[in-house]
Structure 1
Amino acid sequence: MDATHSDTAGITLGSTLYSFTNEFHSRRYDLEGLVREVAARNLGPGIEIVGFQSVRGFPVVTDAFADWFKGLIAETGLTPTCLAINADALIDRNRPMTFDESVAYHARQIEAAAKLGFPVARFQYAATPEVVAKLAPLAEKLDVRLGLEIHAPHSIDHPDVIAYRETYERVGSPYLGFIPDFGASARSVPPAYKDYFKWRGIDQGMVDHALEIWEEQMEPFKRRAKFLDWAKAKGHDEVHAVDVSIIFGLFSRQPLTNWLEIMPQTVHIHGKFYGVDETTGEDPSIDYEAILPIFVAGGYRGSISSEWEGHQVSDDNGFEKVAAHLAMERRILQRAVQPV
């Protein structure tokens, strides 16, 4: 185990550039600026990018751009971990992609991942198991592992995910795997969203009722519909109700130990978070103190991208948020490798 990983239980920590959406959208940083800032602030060594967000003309990647990007990564000493790709099944609003179109659409993006030096491509469940099965030989040829992001409100035992698990078993390729998103195992709705709803002037009673439904033991995909039906019956503002309903799609309550079922097929992790408490040094909404030791004990030795999604409801500095998150992760993982 080298020095880079000796204090993090063999896990590569790092950032996804998605965390810095505020900085990118404000045009204070371009792709090169973000990469250099990640390196300068020691927010690596791992680095993940979103293809369509970061690369102009994606999935077309020219030889010149690929050479420039790989040179930048080498110069900054970072390690490519994952390229996030899109399904975009309804990119044509008049009809969904055909099977062959979807295969070709994903193939171009996987080829881009290989060309840019990424060992993993994150794909979305809308790709369909059949399309991903068809892509397995290409993934093996290019040495790019494909990871289905398991994002709230999905869980490992949701029918959509079960279909992939069954397909993986049938295909038998080690290049097909999963990317857990820790937002699927939240313990509470993040304070940032509660603050945002208050700032928006949304009725507190409606917010409180949404939080009560979020806590209920029920199928996650049903919570949103139950809340919206209730809000409509009560005559609440429809726009506000839809705003509040975002909590049902971003955070769910899958038990932490459930991740063990797919641990051998985990190819990367999205360390989703919305803030680290300055006093306690902990994430108030996702129990990293419990979840990281589960992955260490389960034998995971891959990469984790710190993914701050608070930019949806906050103009805060993403670099500072990620720095706090990485410090928290390092502290927890260092404890996990210390002799008892």
Structure 2
Amino acid sequence: MLEFPVIQGQGFRNVVEDGRVTGFSFRLRNPNYRGGPGSMLDGVEVVVDGERIPDHVPLWTLQGRTFTLDELRASTDVRWQLDEPATITVPKPGGLSTGVHHIEVTIFLRRSYIPPLIARTRFRAEAQRVIVPPAPEGGIKYGVSTYSYTGDVNTSMTLEDVFAEIADLGATGIEILGEGNIANYPSPDPAWVDAWHGLVQKYGLTPTNFGSWVDTTRYNGRDLTAEEGAEQLQLDLRLAKELGFTSVRPKFGVISWDLDPHPIWQETVERSLDLAAELDVVICPEIHTPTPIKHPVTQGYVEFIEKSGTEHFKLLIDTGIFNTEVIVDTSEEVDGDGEEIPPHLRPLAVPMSDFVEVLPYTHFIQAKFVEIDDDLHDLHVPWAQIIPTLLDNGWSGYLSSEYEGRREPGRGRDQVRRQHALIRSLVQGS
């Protein structure tokens, strides 16, 4: 589906021809209530960051064909349909800089059923859109969690829209929530599974991490047994493998604000390791604020890895543990312990030296964030420290964007693009 704003988020990029950046392009949704022939389009005036582009300069691409304004006015065999975006290309040597840009457009349409003096109708729109540079080759891989689009998925975005969004920003990995994104979980229809693999192939994405829950308080009056926990984990291991994922993050029930996992965690994992090895899927418990790295929970996982010698149980690091500022505006309200700021919103500011110690035990990194401003400054996460740490230590796994800020429609899409622009700029700068 098209995005609701006339100026789409997808498709905003620099145009490269023969290795040179020759301009930029963006997509427009038809603002009218009906489609119409190209000959009745009468130009688009574009203003980017205050610079006005005359309406005869931009090129129009409709139904796979590109036109100047004069060619468009003379055409009768191409249409701008309501369900098809128009791509507008603006010649501009060097294009636009990486980051957030303010775009204003005025679209001119001629309408035969309106008196001639006013038949040339104006449709105005403006938006902030993000130029994301191409992903640097080698080293860090770039992915996105479907959690970033919570609120949009199943309302204004289908699962295919999510695939299209991730592919459009140049990421290669898709992370999902099993119970959030799989139709008829835990027993999807074979047709759904086939459709999933079709989307993976169509958009060229790699399934990365499968979000799973071991709900220890599932039953009123008693906790899960280790046997029941293992049954849940193994179900998700098999489903993850069927869909092409290489790791499963089991969110074990916790018993404290330090996120101490329920005592069944170890036996649950021990019962499941043989299956994980058989399927070649890694079990990755999450290190999530308010639990730092220098903590019995994290160290207990590391000791388990060392003692078992397994390659199929490793850590998942959530970058929220590196926050340096209090979070006051998030997507999920959770009561704290009676203090003004609940523990999970306080900055842990875990030092990079601690991070380096556990990188050899780390399989996956969720690039958690809450807000990136118009200057590509993350208000909480110190990416200027994290990215060099990963590069200096040869990290070649995924950074999977996990936006957890406010859930206004479309905000997650914009924020993920800002994060990729920020992270890729830091990688290129290093």
On whether the aligned pair clears a TM of 0.5, the verdict is: yes
> Which structure has the bigger radius of gyration?
2
* Root mean square deviation, CA, Å: 2.5
Q: Which residues in structure 2 correspond to 1:32-181 (within 5 Å)?
A: 32-39=160-167, 41-42=168-169, 44-125=171-252, 126=261, 128-181=265-318
Structure 2 counterpart of 1:310 = 405
Structure 2 counterpart of 1:275 = 371
Determine if contact 1:151/1:250 at 8 Å carries over to the other structure. no
Q: 1:316: how far off?
A: 5.4
Q: 1:175: how far off?
A: 1.2
Q: State the alpha-carbon separation in 1 of the partners of residues 221 and 164 from structure 2.
A: 41
Q: 1:248: how far off?
A: 3.0
Corresponding residue SS for 2:284: strand
Structure 2 counterpart of 1:331 = 425
Structure 2 counterpart of 1:255 = 351
Q: State the alpha-carbon separation in 1 of the partners of residues 231 and 195 from structure 2.
A: 26
Q: 1:159: how far off?
A: 1.5
Q: State the alpha-carbon separation in 2 of the partners of residues 183 and 257 from structure 1.
A: 16
Q: State the alpha-carbon separation in 1 of the partners of residues 405 and 367 from structure 2.
A: 13
Corresponding residue SS for 2:274: helix
Structure 2 counterpart of 1:220 = none
Q: 1:288: how far off?
A: 0.3
**Partner amino acid for 2:378?**
D
Corresponding residue SS for 1:89: coil
Structure 2 counterpart of 1:19 = 148
Q: 1:129: how far off?
A: 2.1
The 1:22–1:311 alpha-carbon spacing in structure 2 relative to 1, beyond 3 Å, is farther
Judge which range, 288-297 or 4-13, deviates more: 4-13
Q: State the alpha-carbon separation in 2 of the partners of residues 293 and 5 from structure 1.
A: 19
TM-score, length basis structure 1? 0.77
**Partner amino acid for 1:84?**
G
Structure 2 counterpart of 1:210 = none
Q: State the alpha-carbon separation in 2 of the partners of residues 103 and 14 from structure 1.
A: 28
TM-score, length basis structure 2? 0.62
Q: Which has the higher contact order (CA 8 A, sep 6+)?
A: 1
**Partner amino acid for 2:400?**
S
* Aligned mate of 2:415, from 321, 324, 335: 321
Q: 1:59: how far off?
A: 2.5
Larger strand fraction of residues: 2
Determine if contact 1:8/1:334 at 8 Å carries over to the other structure. no
Corresponding residue SS for 1:83: strand
Aligned residue pairs: how many?
Answer: 286
Q: State the alpha-carbon separation in 2 of the partners of residues 270 and 328 from structure 1.
A: 16
Corresponding residue SS for 1:10: coil
Corresponding residue SS for 2:386: helix
Structure 1 counterpart of 2:115 = none
The 1:157–1:130 alpha-carbon spacing in structure 2 relative to 1, beyond 3 Å, is farther
Larger helix fraction of residues: 1
The 1:18–1:94 alpha-carbon spacing in structure 2 relative to 1, beyond 3 Å, is same
Q: 1:137: how far off?
A: 1.2
Determine if contact 1:15/1:44 at 8 Å carries over to the other structure. yes
Q: State the alpha-carbon separation in 2 of the partners of residues 136 and 250 from structure 1.
A: 35
Corresponding residue SS for 2:184: coil
Corresponding residue SS for 2:406: helix
Q: State the alpha-carbon separation in 1 of the partners of residues 182 and 146 from structure 2.
A: 12
Determine if contact 1:186/1:251 at 8 Å carries over to the other structure. yes
Structure 2 counterpart of 1:299 = 394
**Partner amino acid for 1:120?**
S
Structure 1 counterpart of 2:159 = 31
Task: Kindly provide the CA deviation profile for residues 148-179 of structure 1, in whole angstroms up to 9, marking residues without a partner as x.
Answer: 11000112222122222211112111111011
Q: 1:271: how far off?
A: 0.3
**Partner amino acid for 1:171?**
S
Q: Does 1:266 align with 2:362?
A: yes
Q: 1:192: how far off?
A: 3.6
Q: 1:250: how far off?
A: 6.9
Corresponding residue SS for 2:152: helix
Corresponding residue SS for 1:135: helix
Task: Kindly provide the CA deviation profile for residues 262-293 of structure 1, in whole angstroms up to 9, marking residues without a partner as x.
Answer: 111211100011121212x2212110011111
Determine if contact 1:22/1:317 at 8 Å carries over to the other structure. no
The 1:298–1:254 alpha-carbon spacing in structure 2 relative to 1, beyond 3 Å, is same
Q: State the alpha-carbon separation in 2 of the partners of residues 89 and 75 from structure 1.
A: 38
Q: State the alpha-carbon separation in 1 of the partners of residues 202 and 346 from structure 2.
A: 36
